[in-house]
Amino acid sequence: MRKFALVVLSVAIIVACSLGDFLVPHSDVVSAAELSAAELSAAELSAAESDVDYDIIYSIPSYNYSKKTVKIKWEAVPEAVSYRLSYKKGDKWESLLEGKKLQKTVSISKYGKMLIYKIEAFDKDKVCIGKSDEIKIVLPAKVAKIYTTSVYDTDVLLNYEASPYATEYKIYIKTGKGKFKYYDRTNTRKMTLPVEPGKSYTFKVVPIYEIDEKVFVGAEKTTTFNNTSVVSLKHQKYSFSRMKKDMNRLKKKYNNYITIEKVGKSEEGRGLYDVILGDKNAKKSLLVVSAIHAREYVTTVTCMKQLEYYLEHYNEKLDGKRLSKVFKECNVHFVMMANPDGVTISQDKKPGWKANSRGVDLNKNFPYRFKVEGKKSGAGYSGKKSASESETQALIALTQKLKDKGPVAVVNYHAMGQIVFGDYKGQNTDMKNKMKSMYDIARYATGYFDAKSYGDGIGRGNYREYLMYVQNIPSITIEVGKTACPVSQKEYKQIFQDNKLVVLRIAKII
């Protein structure tokens, strides 16, 4: 029985060997080690088709904001003997590091510039066997501009221009001379912040760029905000420089509600400004002109205070209607000081001066029944020809621009006498009706006298007559104050109170 089993086993071995010889030639038989090497070659072949064997895993463990440095770290790659960190310059890659290190601290030289890096791993034969994805790093540039708009006396809207590459913004608030406190984080370019009346603030906007759960902080931008009244009625000589300063402060405090445009220069080069209240693109406009006569600069501070009053209540109902709606439909163009050179002469040298710096009475220089009258002096001289003065030309151009855009009316502020001029001798019925409405509003609001006692004289070269009879634009003139010009500072508060609703009410009927 054992002999039979041995024979069977021997036959089985012989058959198996014969079959093996037939299926696998001796020269192709591989060891386990050789098979592993063969599998690796196949892996290398597959990797060659996909460029490299390994995806290099990287991280950004630290970032120094003050020094503007970023540490890039990566994991080791099997069989790698060296690594290279490169950055992209144009269409080419330039090496920053070559060696065995697994980290590198790089400097970010400029805010707002995207820097792209990559990591490569090499074997002993200097063959690239691994690489990372592109590593994108950027420190967002500071926002170019920040705008503040007082919505109510307890809220201010912060708007800021986009920072390149910023994904979000951090907002900080500092009250007075205190320290900055973090307020909130947003991915929008606006935020409403709480404020208190009478206090000053500094707001800070910090753009941030977040990628792979890493936050890069950009350059900060700050702006100040004073939640206080701007225009003061305490200064008798409300000067050109004070007016400009107050205009800019109102713009800073109420940015979204007013626009300031320079519409010309005086004969001595001072700016002539159009301060636009409300929607700049409104179809209807009311033009308010003051201080065309130099010594009547009380009208400038009156109109500046009117402007501030409307801005303070812009989002509220006043006189029965929300101001934001009124000024969206009809904007108001204030020319606060139509004769800045003359005002300066009146305040600094000759108090009774009415003319501009060339001795021309601007209210006799418009192209309506123009006639040369008088001679160069503080009052009464018409100029050699109509519209000879740069101030006159600027008003004519602005008037025409507004007329071309849509319906327009004009209120002229002068001093003194507490009188409203609203007479119209033309035949245009619509014009007559509009004039009567404007006149009635002004008289009712101010309580001023009518102008019947002045008779029907011809206003040669007069701006109001030019508007009515040449441009067909309704216009009234309001003479403020009781005392001789320059009007006493003691009257300023009452003059404002008398006139604070006039412009608003006329704007509602344009």
User: Would you say residue 36 has pLDDT above 80?
Assistant: no
What pLDDT score was predicted for residue 185? 95
User: At residue 325, does pLDDT exceed 50?
Assistant: yes
Q: What pLDDT is stored for residue 44 in this prediction?
A: 41
Look at phi and psi of residue 432 and say left if phi exceeds 0, alpha if psi is from -120 to 50, else beta: alpha
**pLDDT of 149 higher than 60:** yes
**Mean pLDDT confidence for 95-114:** 92
Q: Span 163-190, mean pLDDT?
A: 96
- SS3 sequence of 212-275: CCEEEECCCEEEEEECCCCCCCCCCCCCHHHHHHHHHHHHHHEHHHEEEEEEEECCCCCEEEEE
CB atoms within 10 A of CB 75: 14
Place 184 in a pLDDT band, splitting at 50, 70 and 90: very high
**Homologous superfamily of domain range 54-137:** Immunoglobulins (2.60.40.10)
Query: Out of 47-56, 197-206, 338-347, 417-426, which region has the weakest mean confidence (pLDDT)?
Result: 47-56
Confidence band, pLDDT 50/70/90 cuts, at residue 153: very high
Do residues 129 and 236 lie in contact, with contact meaning Cβ atoms separated by under 8 Å?
A: no
Residues of the chain with CATH 2.60.40.10: 54-137, 146-226
SS3 of residue 96 by DSSP: strand
Which residues lie below 8 Å from residue 240, measured CB to CB, with a gap of 6+? 270, 337, 340, 343, 344
Q: What is the pLDDT of residue 100?
A: 96
Torsion, Cα 195 197 198 203, to 10 degrees, reads 20
Q: Is the dihedral of CA 210, 213, 219, 223 positive or negative?
A: positive
Between 140 and 245, name the one with better pLDDT.
245
Give the pair of three-digit tokens for residue 255: 């940015």
CATH number attached to the domain at 146-226: 2.60.40.10
**pLDDT of res. 458:** 57
Residue 456 is predicted with a pLDDT of 56
User: 214-217 and 181-186 as β-strands: parallel, antiparallel, unpaired?
Assistant: unpaired
- 336 — pLDDT class (breaks 50, 70, 90): very high
Provide the pLDDT for residue 108. 87
SS3 116: strand
Task: Convert 76-109 to b/e letters by CB count within 10 Å (16 or more is b).
Answer: ebeebeebbbbbbeeeeeeeeeeeeebebebebe
What percent of the chain lies above the pLDDT cut of 70?
88
Which pLDDT tens digit goes with each residue over 419-428?
999 999 999 9
Residue 3 has pLDDT above 50, yes or no: no
Mean pLDDT, residues 211-234 = 91
More confident residue, 21 or 392: 392
Return d(Cα 372, Cα 451) in angstroms, integer.
26
335-359 average pLDDT score: 98
Q: What is the pLDDT of residue 460?
A: 76
Where does the pLDDT of residue 24 fall: very low under 50, low under 70, confident under 90, or very high at 90 and above?
very low
Query: pLDDT higher for 326 or 164?
Result: 326
Q: How far apart are CA 147 and CA 190, in angstroms?
A: 9
What is the band of 10 on the pLDDT scale with cuts at 50, 70, 90? very low
| Residues 434-463: tens digit of each pLDDT | 999 999 999 999 999 998 766 555 567 899
Q: Of 333, 343, 353, which is closest to residue 403 (Cα–Cα)?
A: 333
Distance CA 498, CA 494 (A): 6
Would the pLDDT of 393 be above 60?
yes
CATH architecture group of domain 240-507:
3-Layer(aba) Sandwich (3.40)
Identify which has the larger pLDDT, 139 or 479: 479
Judged against a pLDDT cut of 70, whether residue 18 lies above it is answered with no
Mean pLDDT rounded to a whole number for the chain? 89
Query: Is the model's pLDDT at 33 over the cut of 50?
Result: no
Assign 111 a pLDDT band (cuts: 50, 70, 90): confident
Question: For residue range 123-147, what is the model confidence (pLDDT) as tens digits?
Answer: 999 999 999 999 999 888 999 999 9
Q: Please state the rounded mean pLDDT for residues 106-113.
A: 87
